[in-house]
Amino acid sequence: MIDYNEIHRAYVESDAYLGRKEADARTPGSKTRWARARMFNDQAYFLMLFAQLEQHINVQVAKLIDRKKALPRWQDRRLWQEAKSDRISFMQKVALLSEKGQTTYNRMDTLYHDFRCAIAHGNTAAVGPIFIPTVAAELKGLAAALRA
Amino acid sequence: MTVIDEIAEEIAEFEADHGRKPVRMWLTKRDKFDVAKLKRNEFSMAGTVMQKGVERTVKELFGVPIASWDAAQREYRLSDGETAGTAASVKARIDDWVKRLNALFESLDEWTAGVAEARVERNHMQQQIEGLMEQFSVKAQSVPIFTVFIGKNRIAFVPSALWISGANGRVNVTTNYRQYALVDLSQVGKPSDWKLVLASPRTQLAPFNKELFLKILAERA
């Protein structure tokens, strides 16, 4: 289970350290370097939280598939018989747990493509700094909404 | 099936999935028109392309502007992240940021007035260059900073970043002993909602008011 309080505390401590370095920097170049370090710290925390949300989604999809495979009527379970959660793309898994076109699905789409993938593919400047407490609360809400 | 048909189909699929059209599309070099391979029914469009340019024609056809021709594969997005806005909107956000900072520092000024031996210093500094400013070649503006001195203690409020996902700006609060982050959680264009970030699991974000400000002023290691 995700321990958001522990992560929040660790984030605040590390952000405060880098914030102090940024505040104490004497030259604009040095200030920018520390601001970038702070941004990387934000993004690293984001990736960690998102990875935990991905894990939650994997578990929920596996549960859903197991439940559907165990349906008594063959007509109900036939579509699920060959379903393998490790062969389903991430956004398809999200679509199994939330309705496409609705708020939860759309927000997951944005967080996955514009944040998670952008950071993972090195497009860190486009993502910029992330305020982790707000985003962590949002991911917590999304995890609650994405259930089998 | 031509590239045009493929894009039309993909946009329709995207709209069915997301309930609205993408904000922008990223195309590949392979998607560029090859005049020699046009079909008879596409000749008139080729004429429009010659007249208006491919970007405008494609936007008129699909209602979705092209973000780039260098994508590894075609992509459609609900939001366009770093490409959102214009130089004018970036400047407007910075002006709004300066206004919100001034309003915050006016409140701090009032709250400090009743504190014995407190001395306030208000200065300006060049803001840090952020991603969108760089992208739209918007110059850094002068932003206010606010410092309170009480004896040997010093508490400085220095703007850090405006564009931060999940907040509408962040200010560094540096005391002799601790470092805090003060964030505005308001929506863009709405009144400020300043919150101080705390490590406490019970109150992670405390409303930043006179009581909390005076508590920080009185803080010791």
Q: Quickly state the pLDDT bin for B201 (edges 50, 70, 90).
A: confident
pLDDT at B15: 84
* pTM for this entry: 0.75
Over residues B185-205, the mean pLDDT reads 88
Establish if A53 touches chain B: CB-CB under 8 angstroms.
no
pLDDT at B83: 46
Structural domain boundaries in chain A = 43-145
Exposure b/e, B68-86, CB count within 10 A at least 16 = b: eeeeeeebbbbebbbbeee
How far is CA B158 from each of CA A19, B129, B155, rounded to the nearest angstrom?
10, 15, 10
CB B154 within 8 A of CB B148: yes
ipTM over 0.90? The verdict is no
List, for residues A49-67, the tens digit of each pLDDT value. Answer: 999 999 999 999 999 999 9
* Touching B: A residues 90-119, CB under 8 Å: 100-102, 105-106, 109-110, 113-115, 118
Res. B221: pLDDT tops 60:
no
Q: How many CA atoms lie within 13 A of B161 on its CB side?
A: 23
List, for residues B149-168, the tens digit of each pLDDT value. Answer: 988 888 999 999 999 999 99
Computed over every residue of chain B, the mean pLDDT equals: 85
Q: Comparing B212 with A2, which gets the higher pLDDT?
A: B212
Among partner residues B17, B126, B166, which is closest to A131 by beta-carbon distance? B166
Q: Quickly state the pLDDT bin for B64 (edges 50, 70, 90).
A: confident
Collect contacts of B133-138 with beta carbons under 8 A, ≥24 apart: B133/B90, B133/B94, B135/B82, B135/B83, B136/B85, B136/B86, B136/B87, B136/B90, B137/B87, B138/B87, B138/B90, B138/B91, B138/B94
